[in-house]
Amino acid sequence: MVAKSVSPYSGGTVPDSHRSSLTARRCGGRDYHRPVSETSFQSRWLPALAWACLIFALSGVPSLGTDLGVWDTVLRKLAHATEYAILAVLLTRALSPPAAWLGAVAFAVTDELHQALVPGRAARPLDVAIDATGALVGLLVLRQLRR
């Protein structure tokens, strides 16, 4: 019969302490490491929430114009689309692609409502459409990259 503290694979001559992690030994034998396949709330949601906070902060700036005329408008609309493409991709870490798109569009609506309250900014339905299109393009690019 082999004692519990001795490895049965060594014929009872080698202590089993080498088989548990240092963390497990320090925590009274309990190993607190999660399996690799399990992801935490932070790794799934934190990137998207941080990006949404950045978008919200930029929406609170009274004027982001560059006085470049037509190019200013084009660059700002491309920035809108890119912001929401990134948001939708980050949301896929926690949601299915259709739900990520809906979440990005819902955030675009609330973002435009927020802009209505900022002096020098306005809420524009066209911007929501541009954001929704950007989110869709982001998800389509992600799908192509995953193939």
Per residue in 17-63, pLDDT (tens digit) is: 555 555 555 555 554 444 444 578 888 999 999 999 999 999 998 87
The 8-class DSSP code of residue 19 comes to G
Q: Which of 58, 73, 61 is nearest to 118 (CA)?
A: 61
Is residue 83 within 8 Å of 53, Cβ to Cβ? no
Block residue for tokens 């799934």: 44
Structure tokens at 98: 């259709």
DSSP helix/strand/coil, 15: strand
Residue 32 is predicted with a pLDDT of: 47
Structure tokens at 2: 């082999």
Residue 104 is predicted with a pLDDT of: 98
Statement: residue 12 has pLDDT above 70 = no
Task: Compute the Cα dihedral for 68, 70, 76, 82 and give only its sign.
Answer: negative
Residue 54 is predicted with a pLDDT of: 96
Q: Work out the mean pLDDT of the chain and round it to a whole number.
A: 82
Task: Compute the Cα dihedral for 95, 142, 140, 86 and give only its sign.
Answer: positive
Percent of residues, the chain, with pLDDT higher than 70: 72
Residue 65 is predicted with a pLDDT of: 65
3-class SS string, 98-125? HHHHHHHHHHHHHHHHHHHCCCCCCCCH
Between residues 107 and 147, which one has the greater pLDDT? 107
Average pLDDT over residues 119-143: 94
Is residue 15 within 8 Å of 6, Cβ to Cβ? yes
